Amino acid sequence: MMLKNLLLITSCFLFCLSLSGQSGLQLHYNFDTIPPVDQTGNNVPPSLVGFNNISLACAPNEQGLVFDGNSVVLVNGVIGNYFANTDLTISFYFKLQNFQFSQTILSKRSDCNGQRDFSIDFVPNNGRQLVTTFVENSTRDGSMTVDLDPTSCWYHYVFIRRGSEAFIYINGKLEKSIDTGARVNIKDDIAVLSIANSPCVDPASGLYRFSGVMDDLKIYNKAIDEDEVQALYISPNEILNNDTIVYLGNDVQVRLGPTCSGFNYEWFPKSTLDDPFIGEPLITPDKTQTYQLRMNDNQCLAIDTFKIIVIDPDTLNCNVAFLPGAFTPNGDFLNDTWGLSNTFALDELLELSIFDKWGSQMFFTDDIFEQWDGTFNGTQLDPGAYVYKMRFVCNGEEKLERGTVLLIR
């Protein structure tokens, strides 16, 4: 009896383990090694064709594989099964080295007859465009064209198929969606999923193989949600600072997303930066203005901006205490705390107290710079409305203000 139970438990464990392997990430090339290795272990090593000098280059997630316009990667294994009747997600980073010609970046097709085809092509039509095509037959297909930002070097592409719907995200933003009425079955047992290759490649007709760098290819047999899309995007070559408000005389430390060492930096305007030729300078703004960063690696030029709003505290009216009406202490570094935003306007803060709906004091400070994080004795408080009481000195006179703040989680 004991042996039978042990066998039953073991069988259940193996069955559950097999089920867990059938859901989620099914292929992951991080391109940190040569040859690429599927980090999931689900697929055999790929075939590398036409690489005269196989090389890696700096990429958002450490390293990326360099394609010279002749080289091809054939993705071997079971990954082709997920192009049939399951939900599907494809995600990768890419950087083009040639913007003059149409290029096939990823495809799964055995011919150019428009049956069971999937392809992602770059097209230089009136700028930079990416065309995703998926075809089951002449009556069931889909095509989505999105514009690429010409001020970016690296692009993060996500294709999601959820039932009959399809979505394209570029750099974390939804750019296009369509509903084909029924799921498009693009499984072709002959066609091999290929990077930088397609039977339609023909320089005479203007379609070339991908020339550039690819990083972090992931394929899921599910439709990931928008939060998962955002988590995959790590903002390469972008200023991470949001538009910022500072008081005159204060500094702003610039923070960048992942950026390779080969880039040259130049900021405009230069006068209030400690070094206008580094990626993350310290800015001491003397007026409100927009700062532009130009990042150039001699192959691509990326441009990003952010605005700093400068407030002179001597111009503030201390009779008006600027207290936000709500905050969201969820750890995303946006509106995570609550307190005075015009701290330099007041002569002195005597009391800032927070009370729950039963009148119990949840927070107290007389430090004008201290902020409330939505906790009491280290415990997160429930979302809802809380009452605040503030006593402060303005122009030598004591003032009292009461109100409510909404805690949102």
> CB neighbours (10 Å) of residue 138?
9
Look at residue 103 and tell me whether its pLDDT is greater than 90: yes
Predicted local confidence at residue 18, as pLDDT: 37
Look at residue 2 and tell me whether its pLDDT is greater than 50: no
Please, which pLDDT band fits residue 23 given cuts at 50, 70 and 90? low
Roughly how many angstroms between the first and final C-alpha of the chain, as a whole number? 51
Are 315 and 173 spatial neighbours (Cβ–Cβ below 8 Å)?
A: no
Instruction: Please tell me the distance from the alpha carbon of residue 25 to that of residue 235, in angstroms, as a whole number.
Output: 22
Predicted local confidence at residue 271, as pLDDT: 94
Mean pLDDT of the residues in the chain = 90
Predicted local confidence at residue 335, as pLDDT: 86
283-286: Cβ within 8 A, 24+ apart = 283/251, 283/252, 283/253, 283/254, 283/308, 284/249, 284/250, 284/251, 284/252, 285/246, 285/252, 285/310, 286/248, 286/310
Predicted local confidence at residue 115, as pLDDT: 83
Look at residue 76 and tell me whether its pLDDT is greater than 50: yes
Query: pTM for the full model?
Result: 0.78
Predicted local confidence at residue 28, as pLDDT: 96
Any idea which of 212-216, 233-237, 329-333 has the lowest mean pLDDT?
Answer: 329-333
Instruction: Please tell me the distance from the alpha carbon of residue 175 to that of residue 229, in angstroms, as a whole number.
Output: 13
Look at residue 4 and tell me whether its pLDDT is greater than 80: no
Look at residue 264 and tell me whether its pLDDT is greater than 60: yes
pLDDT tens readout for residues 134-175: 999 888 899 999 999 999 999 999 999 999 999 999 999 999
Predicted local confidence at residue 20, as pLDDT: 37
Are 174 and 165 spatial neighbours (Cβ–Cβ below 8 Å)?
A: no
Predicted local confidence at residue 14, as pLDDT: 37
Predicted local confidence at residue 312, as pLDDT: 87
Instruction: Please tell me the distance from the alpha carbon of residue 379 to that of residue 253, in angstroms, as a whole number.
Output: 31
Q: What is the mean pLDDT of residues 251-264?
A: 93
Better-scored residue on pLDDT, 6 or 287: 287
List, in order, residues 6 or more apart from 3 with CB less than 8 Å away.
Answer: none
Predicted local confidence at residue 270, as pLDDT: 96
The full set of domains in the chain, from first to last, is 23-232 (2.60.120.200), 244-311 (2.60.40.10), 316-407 (2.60.40)
Instruction: Please tell me the distance from the alpha carbon of residue 226 to that of residue 259, in angstroms, as a whole number.
Output: 24
Any idea which of 32-36, 82-86, 228-232 has the lowest mean pLDDT?
Answer: 82-86
pLDDT tens readout for residues 314-323: 787 777 767 8
Instruction: Please tell me the distance from the alpha carbon of residue 185 to that of residue 193, in angstroms, as a whole number.
Output: 15
Any idea which of 5-19, 42-56, 221-235, 335-349 has the lowest mean pLDDT?
Answer: 5-19
Look at residue 342 and tell me whether its pLDDT is greater than 90: no
